[in-house]
A = this chain, B = another copy of it.
Amino acid sequence: MPSNQLPHVVIVGGGFAGLAAARALRNAAVHVTLIDRSNHYLFQPLLYQVATANLAPGDIAAPIRHLLRKQRNVTVAMAEVTGVDVTNRRVLVDYMGRRDTPFEYDYLILATGASHSYFGHDEFAQFAPGMKTLADAESVRAKVLKAFETAEIEDDPSNHRDLLTFVLVGAGPTGVEMAGALAELRRFTLKSDFRRIDPLKARIILAEAGPRILANYPEKLSRKAQARLESLGVEVRIGQPVKAIDEARVVIGDETIPSRTVIWTAGVTPSPAGKWLNAPTDKAGRVRTQPDCSVPGHPDVFVVGDTASLDQDGKPLPGLVQVAMQQGHYVGKVIDNRETGRTAPPPFRYFDKGNMAVIGRGFAILDSPFAKMSGLPAWLAWAFIHILYLPAIGNQLRVSVQAMWSYFTRQRSSQLIVEPRGKQMLVSRSQLSAER
Protein backbone atom coordinates (compact mmCIF):
# COMPACT_ATOMS: atom_id res chain seq x y z
CA MET A 1 0.00 0.00 0.00
CA PRO A 2 2.83 2.55 0.54
CA SER A 3 3.15 4.78 -2.47
CA ASN A 4 6.85 5.40 -1.94
CA GLN A 5 10.07 3.57 -1.23
CA LEU A 6 10.15 4.18 2.51
CA PRO A 7 10.12 1.16 4.82
CA HIS A 8 6.56 0.10 5.49
CA VAL A 9 5.40 -0.33 9.09
CA VAL A 10 2.08 -2.14 9.44
CA ILE A 11 0.29 -1.72 12.76
CA VAL A 12 -2.67 -3.98 13.44
CA GLY A 13 -5.06 -2.55 16.02
CA GLY A 14 -6.02 1.06 16.72
CA GLY A 15 -6.30 0.82 20.48
CA PHE A 16 -4.01 2.29 23.11
CA ALA A 17 -0.91 0.37 21.99
CA GLY A 18 -1.40 0.73 18.23
CA LEU A 19 -2.11 4.43 18.38
CA ALA A 20 0.88 5.06 20.65
CA ALA A 21 3.12 3.19 18.18
CA ALA A 22 1.79 5.22 15.23
CA ARG A 23 2.38 8.46 17.09
CA ALA A 24 5.91 7.46 18.11
CA LEU A 25 6.69 7.06 14.40
CA ARG A 26 5.43 10.50 13.41
CA ASN A 27 8.88 11.88 12.59
CA ALA A 28 10.37 8.61 11.36
CA ALA A 29 11.30 8.06 7.72
CA VAL A 30 8.76 5.27 7.28
CA HIS A 31 5.30 4.87 5.90
CA VAL A 32 2.80 3.51 8.42
CA THR A 33 -0.43 1.64 7.71
CA LEU A 34 -2.70 1.21 10.71
CA ILE A 35 -5.34 -1.47 10.24
CA ASP A 36 -8.38 -1.82 12.48
CA ARG A 37 -11.68 -3.58 11.94
CA SER A 38 -13.53 -0.71 13.53
CA ASN A 39 -13.29 2.92 12.41
CA HIS A 40 -12.85 4.30 15.88
CA TYR A 41 -10.47 4.44 18.74
CA LEU A 42 -12.25 3.64 21.99
CA PHE A 43 -11.44 4.77 25.50
CA GLN A 44 -12.33 1.33 26.82
CA PRO A 45 -11.96 2.02 30.57
CA LEU A 46 -15.06 4.24 30.37
CA LEU A 47 -17.15 1.78 28.36
CA TYR A 48 -19.17 0.93 31.47
CA GLN A 49 -20.28 4.58 31.54
CA VAL A 50 -21.94 4.09 28.16
CA ALA A 51 -23.51 0.86 29.38
CA THR A 52 -25.01 2.72 32.35
CA ALA A 53 -26.24 5.66 30.25
CA ASN A 54 -23.94 8.23 31.83
CA LEU A 55 -21.94 8.95 28.70
CA ALA A 56 -22.76 8.75 25.00
CA PRO A 57 -20.63 6.72 22.58
CA GLY A 58 -19.20 9.89 21.05
CA ASP A 59 -17.86 10.97 24.45
CA ILE A 60 -15.43 8.07 24.65
CA ALA A 61 -14.63 7.28 21.04
CA ALA A 62 -13.24 9.10 18.02
CA PRO A 63 -12.55 8.05 14.43
CA ILE A 64 -8.99 6.71 14.18
CA ARG A 65 -8.39 8.48 10.90
CA HIS A 66 -9.45 11.74 12.45
CA LEU A 67 -7.00 11.31 15.33
CA LEU A 68 -4.20 10.70 12.83
CA ARG A 69 -5.29 13.10 10.11
CA LYS A 70 -2.36 15.44 10.61
CA GLN A 71 0.23 12.68 10.60
CA ARG A 72 0.83 12.48 6.87
CA ASN A 73 2.97 9.33 7.00
CA VAL A 74 0.02 7.22 8.23
CA THR A 75 -2.66 5.55 6.15
CA VAL A 76 -5.60 4.14 8.09
CA ALA A 77 -7.34 1.06 6.71
CA MET A 78 -10.60 -0.33 8.05
CA ALA A 79 -10.28 -4.05 7.46
CA GLU A 80 -10.34 -7.34 9.30
CA VAL A 81 -6.95 -9.05 9.64
CA THR A 82 -7.25 -12.79 9.11
CA GLY A 83 -3.63 -13.89 9.46
CA VAL A 84 0.06 -13.14 9.03
CA ASP A 85 2.46 -14.72 6.52
CA VAL A 86 5.78 -14.15 8.31
CA THR A 87 7.79 -15.89 5.59
CA ASN A 88 6.71 -13.46 2.91
CA ARG A 89 6.14 -10.61 5.38
CA ARG A 90 2.51 -10.07 4.53
CA VAL A 91 -0.62 -9.34 6.57
CA LEU A 92 -3.71 -11.10 5.25
CA VAL A 93 -6.92 -9.10 5.43
CA ASP A 94 -10.55 -9.15 4.51
CA TYR A 95 -11.04 -5.85 2.68
CA MET A 96 -14.74 -5.70 3.53
CA GLY A 97 -15.17 -8.11 0.66
CA ARG A 98 -13.66 -5.78 -1.94
CA ARG A 99 -10.21 -7.24 -2.36
CA ASP A 100 -7.82 -9.67 -0.78
CA THR A 101 -4.45 -8.15 -1.63
CA PRO A 102 -2.36 -8.57 1.51
CA PHE A 103 -0.41 -5.71 3.08
CA GLU A 104 3.36 -6.23 2.71
CA TYR A 105 5.42 -5.04 5.62
CA ASP A 106 9.00 -4.31 6.58
CA TYR A 107 8.00 -4.02 10.22
CA LEU A 108 4.88 -5.42 11.81
CA ILE A 109 3.34 -4.35 15.12
CA LEU A 110 0.50 -6.51 16.41
CA ALA A 111 -1.57 -4.56 18.95
CA THR A 112 -4.69 -6.62 18.63
CA GLY A 113 -5.81 -6.57 22.25
CA ALA A 114 -8.17 -8.96 23.96
CA SER A 115 -11.83 -9.85 23.92
CA HIS A 116 -13.96 -11.13 26.77
CA SER A 117 -13.88 -14.80 27.63
CA TYR A 118 -16.52 -17.06 29.09
CA PHE A 119 -13.88 -19.52 30.33
CA GLY A 120 -15.23 -22.40 28.29
CA HIS A 121 -18.87 -21.51 28.97
CA ASP A 122 -19.71 -19.97 25.61
CA GLU A 123 -23.35 -20.88 26.21
CA PHE A 124 -23.42 -18.01 28.75
CA ALA A 125 -22.78 -15.48 25.98
CA GLN A 126 -26.37 -15.15 24.79
CA PHE A 127 -27.69 -14.49 28.31
CA ALA A 128 -24.80 -12.54 29.79
CA PRO A 129 -23.35 -10.09 27.26
CA GLY A 130 -19.83 -8.80 27.82
CA MET A 131 -18.42 -5.35 27.16
CA LYS A 132 -15.52 -4.81 24.80
CA THR A 133 -16.95 -2.69 21.97
CA LEU A 134 -19.29 0.28 21.71
CA ALA A 135 -21.92 -2.00 20.22
CA ASP A 136 -21.56 -4.28 23.27
CA ALA A 137 -21.98 -1.35 25.63
CA GLU A 138 -25.01 -0.05 23.75
CA SER A 139 -26.69 -3.43 23.89
CA VAL A 140 -25.98 -3.74 27.61
CA ARG A 141 -27.47 -0.26 28.05
CA ALA A 142 -30.59 -1.30 26.13
CA LYS A 143 -30.86 -4.46 28.26
CA VAL A 144 -30.57 -2.53 31.52
CA LEU A 145 -33.04 0.21 30.54
CA LYS A 146 -35.50 -2.31 29.13
CA ALA A 147 -35.52 -4.17 32.43
CA PHE A 148 -36.91 -1.04 34.11
CA GLU A 149 -39.31 -0.41 31.20
CA THR A 150 -40.63 -3.95 31.35
CA ALA A 151 -41.12 -3.85 35.09
CA GLU A 152 -43.05 -0.57 34.76
CA ILE A 153 -45.65 -2.18 32.49
CA GLU A 154 -45.73 -5.53 34.28
CA ASP A 155 -49.05 -5.84 36.10
CA ASP A 156 -48.02 -8.50 38.58
CA PRO A 157 -45.59 -7.00 41.11
CA SER A 158 -44.36 -10.48 42.02
CA ASN A 159 -42.68 -10.49 38.64
CA HIS A 160 -40.80 -7.29 39.36
CA ARG A 161 -38.12 -8.99 41.36
CA ASP A 162 -36.43 -10.96 38.60
CA LEU A 163 -36.80 -8.03 36.21
CA LEU A 164 -35.13 -5.68 38.64
CA THR A 165 -32.29 -7.94 39.71
CA PHE A 166 -29.03 -7.09 37.97
CA VAL A 167 -26.14 -9.52 38.30
CA LEU A 168 -22.58 -8.63 37.33
CA VAL A 169 -20.28 -11.60 36.95
CA GLY A 170 -16.68 -10.74 37.75
CA ALA A 171 -15.38 -8.12 40.18
CA GLY A 172 -12.41 -6.72 38.30
CA PRO A 173 -12.36 -2.98 37.59
CA THR A 174 -15.19 -3.18 35.01
CA GLY A 175 -17.52 -5.15 37.27
CA VAL A 176 -16.82 -2.97 40.29
CA GLU A 177 -17.14 0.34 38.44
CA MET A 178 -20.26 -0.84 36.64
CA ALA A 179 -21.85 -1.95 39.94
CA GLY A 180 -21.22 1.52 41.36
CA ALA A 181 -22.66 3.21 38.27
CA LEU A 182 -25.75 0.96 38.29
CA ALA A 183 -26.34 1.79 41.93
CA GLU A 184 -26.33 5.47 41.03
CA LEU A 185 -28.47 5.00 37.93
CA ARG A 186 -31.08 3.42 40.20
CA ARG A 187 -30.70 5.97 42.97
CA PHE A 188 -30.43 9.27 41.10
CA THR A 189 -30.85 9.12 37.37
CA LEU A 190 -34.07 7.16 37.20
CA LYS A 191 -35.46 8.43 40.49
CA SER A 192 -38.50 10.35 39.27
CA ASP A 193 -38.99 8.72 35.87
CA PHE A 194 -41.30 5.87 36.88
CA ARG A 195 -44.78 5.78 38.35
CA ARG A 196 -45.45 2.14 39.13
CA ILE A 197 -42.05 0.83 40.18
CA ASP A 198 -39.47 2.22 42.56
CA PRO A 199 -36.09 1.99 40.84
CA LEU A 200 -34.48 2.04 44.28
CA LYS A 201 -35.83 -1.46 44.84
CA ALA A 202 -33.64 -2.85 42.07
CA ARG A 203 -31.08 -5.34 43.39
CA ILE A 204 -27.50 -5.23 42.18
CA ILE A 205 -25.41 -8.31 42.81
CA LEU A 206 -21.69 -8.44 42.10
CA ALA A 207 -20.43 -12.02 41.94
CA GLU A 208 -16.76 -12.91 42.17
CA ALA A 209 -15.32 -16.41 42.11
CA GLY A 210 -12.03 -15.32 43.68
CA PRO A 211 -11.42 -14.49 47.32
CA ARG A 212 -11.84 -10.71 46.93
CA ILE A 213 -12.88 -7.96 44.54
CA LEU A 214 -10.24 -6.03 42.56
CA ALA A 215 -7.68 -8.77 43.05
CA ASN A 216 -4.96 -6.66 41.42
CA TYR A 217 -5.20 -3.99 44.09
CA PRO A 218 -3.74 -4.18 47.60
CA GLU A 219 -6.02 -6.02 50.00
CA LYS A 220 -6.76 -2.92 52.05
CA LEU A 221 -8.05 -1.02 49.01
CA SER A 222 -10.15 -4.03 47.96
CA ARG A 223 -11.80 -3.99 51.36
CA LYS A 224 -12.51 -0.26 51.15
CA ALA A 225 -13.98 -0.67 47.68
CA GLN A 226 -16.22 -3.48 48.89
CA ALA A 227 -17.40 -1.42 51.87
CA ARG A 228 -18.21 1.45 49.53
CA LEU A 229 -20.17 -0.82 47.18
CA GLU A 230 -22.13 -2.20 50.11
CA SER A 231 -22.93 1.29 51.34
CA LEU A 232 -24.39 1.96 47.88
CA GLY A 233 -26.59 -1.10 48.30
CA VAL A 234 -24.66 -3.50 46.08
CA GLU A 235 -24.67 -7.12 47.28
CA VAL A 236 -21.15 -8.48 46.91
CA ARG A 237 -20.75 -12.29 46.71
CA ILE A 238 -17.17 -13.43 47.14
CA GLY A 239 -15.65 -16.86 46.46
CA GLN A 240 -18.79 -18.04 44.68
CA PRO A 241 -18.33 -19.21 41.12
CA VAL A 242 -21.17 -18.77 38.67
CA LYS A 243 -22.31 -22.23 37.69
CA ALA A 244 -25.18 -21.58 35.30
CA ILE A 245 -26.91 -18.74 33.50
CA ASP A 246 -30.06 -18.75 31.44
CA GLU A 247 -32.59 -16.13 30.46
CA ALA A 248 -34.41 -16.24 33.77
CA ARG A 249 -31.81 -17.04 36.42
CA VAL A 250 -28.20 -17.29 37.44
CA VAL A 251 -26.73 -19.89 39.78
CA ILE A 252 -24.01 -18.48 42.05
CA GLY A 253 -22.47 -21.12 44.28
CA ASP A 254 -25.43 -23.00 45.69
CA GLU A 255 -27.89 -20.16 45.29
CA THR A 256 -30.28 -19.68 42.38
CA ILE A 257 -31.08 -16.02 41.77
CA PRO A 258 -33.95 -15.13 39.43
CA SER A 259 -32.56 -12.43 37.13
CA ARG A 260 -33.18 -11.38 33.57
CA THR A 261 -30.21 -9.05 33.37
CA VAL A 262 -26.84 -10.67 33.79
CA ILE A 263 -23.76 -8.82 32.55
CA TRP A 264 -20.44 -10.53 32.01
CA THR A 265 -17.60 -8.50 33.49
CA ALA A 266 -15.18 -11.35 34.03
CA GLY A 267 -12.13 -12.57 32.12
CA VAL A 268 -10.52 -11.62 28.88
CA THR A 269 -8.85 -13.71 26.23
CA PRO A 270 -6.09 -12.41 23.96
CA SER A 271 -6.48 -12.01 20.19
CA PRO A 272 -5.29 -14.87 17.98
CA ALA A 273 -1.95 -13.12 17.28
CA GLY A 274 -0.09 -16.14 18.64
CA LYS A 275 -1.78 -18.43 16.13
CA TRP A 276 -1.18 -16.02 13.24
CA LEU A 277 2.54 -15.99 14.03
CA ASN A 278 2.76 -19.59 15.17
CA ALA A 279 4.75 -18.16 18.07
CA PRO A 280 5.15 -19.43 21.65
CA THR A 281 2.46 -18.14 24.01
CA ASP A 282 1.86 -18.13 27.75
CA LYS A 283 -0.92 -20.28 29.12
CA ALA A 284 -3.52 -17.52 28.55
CA GLY A 285 -2.55 -17.45 24.86
CA ARG A 286 -0.56 -14.21 24.88
CA VAL A 287 2.55 -14.08 22.69
CA ARG A 288 5.78 -14.35 24.67
CA THR A 289 8.02 -11.54 23.48
CA GLN A 290 11.69 -10.64 23.76
CA PRO A 291 12.63 -7.81 26.13
CA ASP A 292 12.34 -5.40 23.15
CA CYS A 293 8.75 -6.63 22.49
CA SER A 294 9.78 -8.45 19.32
CA VAL A 295 8.85 -12.04 18.58
CA PRO A 296 11.63 -14.63 19.03
CA GLY A 297 13.20 -15.31 15.62
CA HIS A 298 11.40 -12.35 14.00
CA PRO A 299 13.14 -9.13 14.99
CA ASP A 300 10.88 -7.19 12.57
CA VAL A 301 7.66 -8.38 14.22
CA PHE A 302 6.49 -6.86 17.51
CA VAL A 303 3.60 -7.75 19.78
CA VAL A 304 2.37 -5.20 22.31
CA GLY A 305 -0.45 -4.59 24.76
CA ASP A 306 -3.02 -7.09 25.99
CA THR A 307 -2.06 -9.72 23.46
CA ALA A 308 1.62 -9.77 24.52
CA SER A 309 3.27 -11.50 27.47
CA LEU A 310 6.47 -10.11 28.96
CA ASP A 311 7.92 -10.52 32.43
CA GLN A 312 9.33 -7.70 34.48
CA ASP A 313 11.13 -8.38 37.76
CA GLY A 314 10.03 -12.01 37.52
CA LYS A 315 6.33 -11.21 37.13
CA PRO A 316 4.26 -10.94 33.96
CA LEU A 317 3.20 -7.39 33.13
CA PRO A 318 -0.53 -6.80 33.77
CA GLY A 319 -3.04 -6.14 30.98
CA LEU A 320 -3.31 -2.43 31.61
CA VAL A 321 -3.79 0.63 29.42
CA GLN A 322 -0.52 2.08 30.62
CA VAL A 323 1.47 -1.03 29.73
CA ALA A 324 -0.10 -1.03 26.26
CA MET A 325 0.62 2.66 25.63
CA GLN A 326 4.17 2.44 26.90
CA GLN A 327 4.90 -0.66 24.84
CA GLY A 328 3.42 0.89 21.70
CA HIS A 329 5.51 4.01 22.16
CA TYR A 330 8.62 1.94 22.91
CA VAL A 331 8.31 -0.18 19.78
CA GLY A 332 7.85 2.92 17.62
CA LYS A 333 11.13 4.19 19.03
CA VAL A 334 12.89 0.84 18.45
CA ILE A 335 11.91 0.94 14.77
CA ASP A 336 12.86 4.59 14.39
CA ASN A 337 16.26 3.93 15.95
CA ARG A 338 16.89 0.93 13.76
CA GLU A 339 16.04 2.87 10.61
CA THR A 340 18.31 5.74 11.52
CA GLY A 341 21.14 3.43 12.62
CA ARG A 342 21.01 4.62 16.20
CA THR A 343 21.62 2.12 18.98
CA ALA A 344 18.61 0.21 20.20
CA PRO A 345 16.98 1.53 23.38
CA PRO A 346 17.40 -0.57 26.56
CA PRO A 347 14.87 -3.39 27.09
CA PHE A 348 11.28 -2.31 27.65
CA ARG A 349 10.52 -1.35 31.20
CA TYR A 350 7.03 -0.53 32.43
CA PHE A 351 6.75 2.58 34.55
CA ASP A 352 3.75 2.26 36.85
CA LYS A 353 1.99 5.61 37.24
CA GLY A 354 -0.71 4.09 39.41
CA ASN A 355 -4.18 2.69 38.93
CA MET A 356 -7.59 3.91 39.88
CA ALA A 357 -11.07 2.50 40.14
CA VAL A 358 -14.13 4.71 40.62
CA ILE A 359 -17.12 3.55 42.63
CA GLY A 360 -19.92 6.02 42.18
CA ARG A 361 -19.55 9.77 42.26
CA GLY A 362 -17.13 11.07 44.84
CA PHE A 363 -15.31 7.82 45.60
CA ALA A 364 -12.31 6.13 44.04
CA ILE A 365 -9.37 4.03 45.07
CA LEU A 366 -5.86 4.87 43.94
CA ASP A 367 -2.98 2.44 43.99
CA SER A 368 0.36 3.86 42.87
CA PRO A 369 3.99 3.42 43.86
CA PHE A 370 3.80 6.91 45.39
CA ALA A 371 0.52 6.79 47.24
CA LYS A 372 -2.41 4.59 48.09
CA MET A 373 -5.66 6.25 48.93
CA SER A 374 -9.42 6.00 48.76
CA GLY A 375 -12.47 8.23 48.91
CA LEU A 376 -13.04 11.73 47.61
CA PRO A 377 -9.37 12.77 47.17
CA ALA A 378 -8.76 9.77 44.91
CA TRP A 379 -11.93 10.54 42.98
CA LEU A 380 -10.92 14.16 42.45
CA ALA A 381 -7.56 12.93 41.17
CA TRP A 382 -9.43 10.62 38.80
CA ALA A 383 -11.71 13.37 37.51
CA PHE A 384 -8.78 15.72 37.03
CA ILE A 385 -6.69 13.18 35.16
CA HIS A 386 -9.58 12.25 32.88
CA ILE A 387 -10.33 15.85 32.04
CA LEU A 388 -6.69 16.23 31.08
CA TYR A 389 -6.38 12.86 29.48
CA LEU A 390 -9.38 12.43 27.19
CA PRO A 391 -8.50 15.48 25.09
CA ALA A 392 -4.90 14.32 24.94
CA ILE A 393 -6.00 11.25 23.06
CA GLY A 394 -7.53 13.42 20.41
CA ASN A 395 -11.02 14.48 21.32
CA GLN A 396 -11.33 18.19 21.60
CA LEU A 397 -11.23 19.53 25.14
CA ARG A 398 -14.87 20.45 24.66
CA VAL A 399 -15.91 16.84 24.42
CA SER A 400 -14.31 15.79 27.63
CA VAL A 401 -15.43 18.81 29.59
CA GLN A 402 -18.92 18.06 28.31
CA ALA A 403 -18.57 14.44 29.28
CA MET A 404 -17.52 15.38 32.76
CA TRP A 405 -20.23 17.98 33.00
CA SER A 406 -22.79 15.47 31.89
CA TYR A 407 -21.44 13.06 34.44
CA PHE A 408 -21.64 15.60 37.26
CA THR A 409 -25.09 16.85 36.32
CA ARG A 410 -26.60 13.43 35.64
CA GLN A 411 -27.80 14.41 32.24
CA ARG A 412 -29.90 11.86 30.42
CA SER A 413 -29.77 12.17 26.70
CA SER A 414 -27.61 9.05 26.72
CA GLN A 415 -30.51 6.96 27.98
CA LEU A 416 -31.59 5.85 24.54
CA ILE A 417 -32.63 2.40 23.51
CA VAL A 418 -31.62 2.30 19.87
CA GLU A 419 -32.34 -0.93 18.11
CA PRO A 420 -33.59 -1.95 14.72
CA ARG A 421 -37.33 -2.65 14.91
CA GLY A 422 -36.80 -6.24 13.82
CA LYS A 423 -34.48 -6.84 16.71
CA GLN A 424 -36.88 -5.33 19.22
CA MET A 425 -39.52 -7.76 18.12
CA LEU A 426 -37.10 -10.64 18.25
CA VAL A 427 -36.17 -9.85 21.82
CA SER A 428 -39.79 -9.51 22.65
CA ARG A 429 -40.77 -12.85 21.18
CA SER A 430 -37.88 -14.74 22.67
CA GLN A 431 -38.84 -13.40 26.08
CA LEU A 432 -42.40 -14.41 25.45
CA SER A 433 -41.51 -17.98 24.75
CA ALA A 434 -39.31 -18.00 27.83
CA GLU A 435 -42.43 -17.23 29.84
CA ARG A 436 -44.14 -20.46 29.00
Given contacts A70-B192, A418-B57, contact A62 B413 (CB under 8 A): yes
A113 nearest CB across to chain B (Å): 13
Smallest Cβ distance from A97 to chain B, in angstroms? 3
A58 with B413: CB separation less than 8 A: yes
The CA of A74 and the CA of B75, in the complex, are separated in Å by 54
- Chain B min CB distance to A155 (Å): 5
Residues 53-79 (chain A) with a chain B CB within 8 angstroms: 56-59, 61-63, 65-66, 69-70, 72, 74-79
Q: Is the Cβ of A414 less than 8 Å from the Cβ of B58?
A: yes
Are the C-beta atoms of A418 and B62 separated by less than 8 Å? no
| CB of A297 within 8 Å of the partner chain | no
- Residue A118 interfacial (CB < 8 Å): no
Q: How far is the CA of A383 from the CA of B376 in the complex (A)?
A: 42
A412 on the interface (CB 8 Å rule)?
A: yes
Interface status of A216 (Cβ within 8 A of chain B): no
Q: Which residues from chain B contact A77 at a C-beta distance below 8 Å?
A: 152-153
The CA-CA distance from A7 to B148 in the complex, in Å, is 26
Question: A71-99: which have CB < 8 Å to B?
Answer: 72, 74-80, 94-99
A192 x B69 contact (CB < 8 A): yes
Which chain B residues border A193 with CB–CB below 8 Å? Answer: 63, 65-66, 69, 76
A399 at the interface (CB under 8 A from B): yes
A65 and B419 CA atoms in complex are apart in Å by: 18
29 contacts between A and B (CB under 8 A): A1-B196, A3-B196, A38-B417, A56-B57, A57-B416, A58-B413, A61-B413, A61-B416, A70-B192, A76-B193, A78-B153, A79-B153, A80-B428, A94-B428, A95-B154, A97-B427, A97-B430, A97-B431, A97-B432, A98-B153, A99-B153, A99-B154, A99-B156, A101-B155, A135-B418, A135-B419, A395-B413, A399-B411, A399-B413
A65-B194, A399-B413 provided; 8 other pairs, C-beta below 8 A? A37-B421, A39-B416, A62-B413, A80-B425, A96-B153, A97-B429, A97-B433, A135-B420
A interface residues (Cβ-Cβ under 8 A, vs B) = 1, 3, 37-40, 56-59, 61-63, 65-66, 69-70, 72, 74-80, 94-99, 101, 133-135, 138-139, 145-146, 149-150, 152-156, 159, 192-196, 395-396, 398-399, 402, 405, 411-421, 424-425, 427-435
